[in-house]
Amino acid sequence: MPATVMPGSPVQLNGVTLESEHPQSVSQPQPAFQIQPVTPDPAPSQPRETWGGKYEFLLSCIGYCVGLGNVWRFPYLCYRNGGGVFLIPYFVMLLFTGLPLFLLELSLGQYGAAGPITVWKCCPLLKGIGVGMLLVSSLVSLYYNVIIAWTFYYLGMSFQSPLPWSCDAPQNAPLCQNASGNSSRFSASEAFWNEQVLGVTHSSGLHDPGPVRWPLAICLLVAWIVIFLCMLKGIRSSGKVVYFTATFPYLVLIVLIIRGATLEGSIEGVRFYLSSDWSRLQSAQVWNDAASQIFYSLGIGFGGLLSMASYNKFDNNVIRDTLVIAIGNCCTSFFAGFAIFSILGHMAWRKRVPVGEVADTGPGLAFVAYPEALALLPGSAFWSVLFFLMMFTLGVDTLFGNMEGITTAVLDEFPALREWRRKTLFLGALCFTFYLLGLLLITEGGIYWFTLIDAYSTSFGLIIITLFMCIGIAFFYGVNQFCRDIVDMICRCPPWCSKLVLYFKACWVFITPCLLLFILFYIFLEMYNTSLHYGAYAYPRWGKALGVCMGTVTCIQIPLWALVAICRESGTLTDRFRKAIHPLNSWRTATTHAEVIDVPYTINLVDSDFASPPQGSSEA
CB 394 within 8 A of CB 249: yes
Average pLDDT over residues 58-76: 85
Average pLDDT over residues 585-611: 47
167-181, 230-244, 597-611: the lowest-pLDDT one: 597-611
223-232, 274-283, 317-326, 581-590: the lowest-pLDDT one: 581-590
Average pLDDT over residues 348-354: 84
CB 341 within 8 A of CB 75: yes
Average pLDDT over residues 350-360: 79
Count CB-CB contacts under 10 A for residue 579. Answer: 22
pLDDT at 397 over 60: yes
- Residue 11 assigned to a binding site: no
Average pLDDT over residues 481-500: 82
pLDDT at 231 over 70: yes
pLDDT at 70 over 90: no
Q: Give pLDDT, residue 608.
A: 45
370: CB partners within 8 A, 6+ apart: 340, 343, 344, 387
List, as one string, the DSSP characters of 596-618: ----SEEEE--GGGGSPPPTT--
Residue 187 to residue 166: CA distance in whole angstroms: 9
pTM: 0.84
- Residue 63 assigned to a binding site: yes
CB 64 within 8 A of CB 308: yes
Q: SS3 for 34?
A: strand
Per-residue DSSP letter, 443: B
pLDDT at 409 over 60: yes
Q: SS3 for 532?
A: coil
Average pLDDT over residues 20-25: 47
38 alpha carbon, distance to own chain's centre: 38
Split at pLDDT 50, 70, 90, the class of 46 is low
Q: Tens digit of pLDDT for each residue in 361-378?
A: 677 778 888 888 888 888
- Helix 284-298 to helix 318-351 angle, to the nearest 10 degrees? 120
Q: Give pLDDT, residue 497.
A: 75
Q: Give how far Cα 97 sits from Cα of 335, 361, 437, 514, Å.
A: 22, 24, 33, 10
Task: Give the helix/strand (H/E) hosting 87.
Answer: helix 87-93
Average pLDDT over residues 514-537: 87
- Residue 397 assigned to a binding site: yes
Q: Give pLDDT, residue 605.
A: 45
Which is more confident, 225 or 337?
Answer: 225
pLDDT at 595 over 60: no
Q: Give pLDDT, residue 406.
A: 94
- Residue 103 assigned to a binding site: no
185-189, 302-306, 483-487, 516-520: the lowest-pLDDT one: 185-189
Residue 107 to residue 102: CA distance in whole angstroms: 9
For the chain, give the mean pLDDT: 82
Q: Give pLDDT, residue 74.
A: 85
CB 513 within 8 A of CB 471: yes
15-24, 268-277, 442-451: the lowest-pLDDT one: 15-24
Q: Give pLDDT, residue 516.
A: 93
Average pLDDT over residues 392-400: 90
189-198, 443-452, 595-604: the lowest-pLDDT one: 595-604
- Residue 66 assigned to a binding site: yes
90-94, 172-176, 435-439: the lowest-pLDDT one: 172-176
Which is more confident, 237 or 484?
Answer: 484
For the chain, which domains are there?
11-40+563-610 (no CATH), 54-278+285-535 (1.20.1740)
pLDDT at 568 over 70: yes
Strands 537-538 and 533-534 turn out to be: antiparallel
Count CB-CB contacts under 10 A for residue 278. Answer: 11
C-alpha count within 13 angstroms, C-beta hemisphere, residue 122: 29
Q: Give pLDDT, residue 233.
A: 75
11-20, 313-322, 412-421: the lowest-pLDDT one: 11-20
- Residue 573 assigned to a binding site: no
CB 561 within 8 A of CB 554: no
Per-residue DSSP letter, 594: -
Considering the chain, what percentage of its residues have pLDDT values greater than 70? 84
Alpha helices (runs of H) in 188-274, residue ranges in sequence order = 188-191, 214-232, 235-245, 248-261, 266-274
Cβ burial of 396 (10 Å; 0-12, 13-18, 19+) is: buried
- Total H helices, total E strands in the chain: 27, 6
88-97, 166-175, 453-462: the lowest-pLDDT one: 166-175
Which is more confident, 52 or 399?
Answer: 399
Q: Give pLDDT, residue 238.
A: 64
- Residue 297 assigned to a binding site: yes
CB 110 within 8 A of CB 117: no
**Rg (the chain; Cα; Å):** 27
Average pLDDT over residues 435-451: 95
71 alpha carbon, distance to own chain's centre: 16
516: CB partners within 8 A, 6+ apart: 97, 463, 466, 467, 470
For residue 320, the one-letter residue type is R
Which is more confident, 360 or 95?
Answer: 95
Residue 60 to residue 62: CA distance in whole angstroms: 5
CA-nearest of 252, 489, 270, 496 to 383 is 252
28-42, 419-433, 450-464, 482-496: the lowest-pLDDT one: 28-42
Q: Give pLDDT, residue 186.
A: 57
Label each residue of 177-210 as H, E or C: CCCCCCCECCCHHHHHHHHHHHCHHHCCECCECC
Residue 422 to residue 108: CA distance in whole angstroms: 28
